[in-house]
Every structure is written in C-alpha cells, then in structure tokens.
C-alpha cells in the first residue's frame, strides 16, 4: 500500500515508520521544512525510544521518504493519513481543528484515483463529517472515502503501542458519557466497550504524583468538556478533574517550600526530571513547568536535569540553570525534588547524594524511594500521599 502521512510529529513519524516497517511505502509530509531537512539527513526531531534505528532502516530499504509538499505524495497514495496537531484553541479550550481542515483542503486538491482519507489526529465528534464536506466542496468528483482511525500510542512506548495496540478503532469513535452520546448520536454500549479495551485502565496507572500533563490528555479532556457544554450535557466530573489537576501542580511548589521550613529565598532547589513522563522529550503541559515557576516566584534558585527534555525545556524555563547529570544537579542544593520517574533516578547513590547536598532534603513527587531507606541515609524525606511522610 502507498501511504501519505500528513504531519510528521510524534504520531505521524511513529505511524509512518511503523507502516513502512510493515512493508508499506510511506511518505511522511510536514510543512516544517527544518523538520523534514533533519529527517532527510537521518536526524530525528524528537526523542522516542527505538525510533531512530526504525526510521533509518526503513529509509535505507527505500520504504520511507520525507517531503514538505503534500501534492505528489497524496496523488500517488492509496491511503492518506491526517496526523496534524489539534491543540487547545486559544481563548475557549475547544480543539483547534484549523490544521486538520487546512490539511483536508490541500489533500482534496491533490487526490487522484480511489483514496482513503484517514483521520488519525485526536478530534471531537463530527470532525469526520466536516472533513468529508470539505473534500466534496473542493473536489465534488473525488473518489475518496473518509475514515476515522484515532491513534492511541503513548509517547515513550510509541512503537510498541502502534505495532501491538490493545485496541484499534476504525470508523467513528467517541468516549463520552451516555447523555452526550445520545445528543451526538453515539451508542454508550459501544463507547463502554471501547473504554474497557484500554489496558491503561487499572492498577498500572494509579500512581500518586504531582498532577498529570502531556500533549494529549489535558487538551483532549478540555475539548471533551467543551463538546459536553456545546450539547448542553456538561461533564462535571471531567471539569472537576481538570480544576483539581491545576491546583495540584501549583500545590507542589508549596510542598517543596514547606520541606525547607517555608522560605525559599536564597535557597537552591535541584529538580530531577522535567518532561511530563519518562522516555520522552515532550515538555507540553509538564507539571515541572508549574512547579518550577512556583519555586522561582517564591525566590528559589532552580537547577534542573533531565535525560532527554532539556533542549525542549530551555525556551519554556529560560531563567534556571541546567546540569548535565543528576549529581551535578544536586551538588550544593538545599533540596532535591524528583519530578519525573526516569529509570536512572530510581537507583541514585544515596550516600553520595547526601554528601554533595547542602541540606539532605528530598521531595519525591513520584514515590520512587522507600521512606525507611531514605531515613537510614539521613534524609528528611517527603513523598506524596503516604501517611507519616508528608
Ligand atoms: N503525541 C501523542 O502521544 C499522541 C498520541 C495519540 C494521538 N495524538 C494526536 O495526534 C495528533 C498529532 O499529535 P502530535 O503529538 O504528533 O503533534 P505534533 O505537534 O508533534 O505534530 C504535528 C505536525 O503536523 C505538522 N502539520 C500541521 N499542519 C500540516 C499540514 N497542513 N501539512 C503538513 N504538516 C502539517 C506540524 O508541522 C507538526 O510537525 C493530535 O491530534 C494529537 O492529539 C497524539
């Protein structure tokens, strides 16, 4: 099959590389010329475990190519996937579908022969109909079928999730509650079945932490709230989740301040982990941003280290120092805060850590360590949601 992947971000690049690895001929298209130039040189614009060798081997074997213009790739393709961004729209929090619709227009103009046009981006209910309408408007005679195939891959485990998904949704998909389902024309039984197929629902993802972040969940939850409001079926639980999450991120700064006696002025706080979760360089909505902003507001100097996210973090957090290892980060610090649970932070040399810090204060926002171990090494240890260890 010949595939054109429109949008070469986390989803487009992983999906394109995996389709190529399955034997299809894929052209990944992106408007961002720097991204395409880097990919054409063999450099990846993002960090995702295992992706570089996968891209390189499929490029070498002639199944994966890159382009900035979509006309030629679309005209040759059997299937065109729309994998462009759908961020929160400025001002109202609705999903911003302008990239999807712009891509649909461009695709429509370039279609030749029978083509599947597949929406892979995460979009609100009704978007497929609009994509179809746009294509019919631009090219009334086009021989195209519009399909919805939302992607559920998780950054950090993208290749495995794409190649071995716990569910594949093709057609139309929605995961709203019953009332909204009725109003938007979905079937709650099907929605419930779809939700139940998600392996992430269960003990594995029930960990206390500093609040959730990332490029998907916050914006998709917000867009879902807006869809509910538009259909006069407000989703109060989801609204409350978002409000609680915002408060929690801010509260983490106060927790660090409390661990240092309430006053951060003149203190140095070392932050381990900046990305919203391990094994990615993605900083979008990362709890570290709100935490570090709060620490800076309270007068602390902040030094941070992250194995993959520092380049992405620098424009977002320009007024902090960056270290090149966990220990360089902790050197001379009054407190160490673990924000992201990268593997390399799970087995720190605690004796060394204690020796190099100005004060042995650790705030572990991921509950990586055991309180008794930390006490044995002489740390004042603070974790989240464990009684006796504030
Ligand atoms: N990141 C994830 O883990 C993840 C997982 C599942 C679903 N999604 C969804 O997939 C979609 C893409 O997310 P992402 O994280 O890959 O976004 P991203 O921002 O990393 O990438 C989107 C890319 O699309 C390009 N683009 C925009 N308009 C274009 C056009 N007309 N032609 C060519 N390229 C264009 C942009 O330059 C950008 O490189 C979103 O809807 C998101 O919600 C993301």
For the stretch 250-283, pLDDT in tens is 899 999 999 999 999 999 999 999 999 999 999 9
DSSP, collapsed to helix, strand or coil, labels residue 67 as strand
CA distances from 383 to 210, 292, 322, 360, 374 (A): 10, 17, 24, 14, 11
What are the pLDDT digits (tens) for 60-117? 999 999 999 999 999 999 999 999 999 998 878 899 999 999 999 999 999 999 999 9
Atom 27, ligand 1: which residue's CA is nearest?
84
- Per the model's pLDDT, the better-predicted residue between 194 and 244 turns out to be 244
User: From CA 219, how far away is CA 370, in angstroms rounded?
Assistant: 34
For residue 191, pLDDT over 50 is answered with yes
The structure's pTM equals 0.81
Lining residues, ligand 1, CB within 6 Å: 6-12, 29-32, 35, 70, 83-86, 99, 102-103, 106, 121-122, 151-153, 155, 215-216
Q: Do domains 2-189 and 250-382 have the same CATH topology?
A: yes
CA nearest to 383, candidates 259, 240, 225, 215: 259
Pairing relationship of beta strands 301-305 and 25-29 according to DSSP bridges? unpaired
CATH superfamily of 250-382: NAD(P)-binding Rossmann-like Domain (3.40.50.720)
Average pLDDT on 188-206 reads: 76
**Which atom of ligand 1 approaches the CA of 122 most closely?**
41
CA nearest to 28, candidates 61, 65, 75: 65
Q: Where along the chain do its domains lie?
A: 2-189, 250-382
What are the pLDDT digits (tens) for 345-386? 999 999 999 999 999 999 999 999 999 999 999 999 999 987
**Which atom of ligand 1 approaches the CA of 32 most closely?**
37
User: From CA 185, how far away is CA 179, in angstroms rounded?
Assistant: 10
CA nearest to 10, candidates 41, 42, 35: 35
CA atoms within 13 A on the CB side of 76: 14
Q: Which pLDDT score is estimated for 186?
A: 60
Atom 11, ligand 1: which residue's CA is nearest?
121
Assign domain 2-189 to its CATH architecture: 3-Layer(aba) Sandwich (3.40)
Q: Which pLDDT score is estimated for 32?
A: 97
Residues 6+ apart with CB under 8 A from 80: 3, 4, 6, 74, 107, 111, 115, 116, 117, 118
Query: Catalytic annotation on 216?
Result: yes
Q: What's the 369 CA to ligand 1 centre distance in angstroms?
A: 36
Write down how long the chain is.
Answer: 390
- Residue among 216, 222, 279, 282 whose CB has most ligand 1 atoms within 8 A, to mutate: 216
Atom 7, ligand 1: which residue's CA is nearest?
151
For 24-61, the DSSP string reads: -EEEEE-S-HHHHHHHHHT--SS--TTHHHHHHHHHHT
Q: Which helix (H) or strand (E) holds 300?
A: none
Q: Which of 18, 28, 216, 329 is catalytic?
A: 216
Question: CB of 149 within 8 A of CB of 162?
Answer: no
- Residue among 4, 10, 134 whose CB has most ligand 1 atoms within 8 A, to mutate: 10
What are the pLDDT digits (tens) for 212-246? 888 888 999 999 999 999 989 888 889 999 999 99
What are the pLDDT digits (tens) for 132-184? 999 999 999 999 989 888 999 999 999 999 998 887 777 744 343 345 445 55
**Which atom of ligand 1 approaches the CA of 282 most closely?**
1
């Amino acid at each position: 099959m010949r595939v054109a992947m429109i949008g070469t971000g986390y989803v487009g690049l992983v999906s394109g590389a995996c389709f190529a690895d399955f034997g299809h001929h894929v052209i990944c298209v992106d408007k961002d010329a720097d991204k395409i130039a880097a990919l054409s040189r063999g450099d990846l614009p993002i960090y995702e475990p295992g992706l570089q060798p996968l891209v390189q081997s499929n490029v070498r074997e002639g199944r994966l190519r890159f382009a900035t213009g979509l006309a030629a790739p679309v005209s040759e393709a059997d299937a065109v996937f729309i994998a462009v961004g759908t961020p929160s729209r400025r001002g109202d929090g609705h999903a911003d579908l302008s990239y999807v619709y712009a891509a649909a227009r461009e695709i429509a103009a370039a279609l030749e022969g029978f083509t599947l046009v597949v929406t892979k981006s995460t979009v609100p209910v009704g978007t497929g109909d609009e994509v179809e309408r746009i294509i019919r408007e631009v090219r009334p005679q086009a021989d195209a079928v519009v399909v919805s195939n939302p992607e559920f891959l998780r950054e950090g485990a993208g290749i495995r999730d794409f190649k071995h998904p716990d569910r594949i949704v093709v057609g139309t998909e929605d995961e709203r509650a019953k009332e909204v389902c009725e109003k938007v024309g979905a079937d709650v039984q099907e929605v419930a079945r779809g939700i139940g197929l998600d392996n992430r629902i269960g003990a594995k993802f029930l960990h206390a932490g500093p609040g959730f972040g990332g490029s998907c969940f916050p914006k998709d939850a917000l867009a879902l709230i807006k869809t509910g409001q538009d259909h006069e079926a407000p989703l109060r639980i989801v609204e409350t989740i978002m409000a609680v999450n915002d408060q929690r991120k801010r509260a983490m700064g106060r927790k660090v301040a409390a661990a240092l006696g309430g006053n951060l002025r003149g203190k140095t706080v070392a932050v381990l982990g900046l990305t919203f979760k391990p094994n990615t360089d993605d900083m979008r909505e990362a709890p570290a941003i709100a935490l570090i902003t709060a620490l800076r507001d309270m007068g602390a100097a902040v030094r941070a280290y992250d194995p993959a996210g520092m380049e992405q973090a620098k424009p977002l957090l320009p007024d902090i120092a960056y270290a090149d290892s966990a220990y360089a980060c902790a050197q001379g610090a009054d407190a160490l805060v673990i924000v992201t649970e990268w593997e390399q932070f799970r087995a720190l040399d605690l004796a060394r850590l204690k020796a190099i810090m100005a004060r042995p204060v650790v705030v572990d926002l991921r509950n990586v360590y055991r309180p008794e171990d930390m006490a044995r090494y002489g740390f004042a240890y603070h974790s989240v949601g464990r009684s006796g260890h504030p």
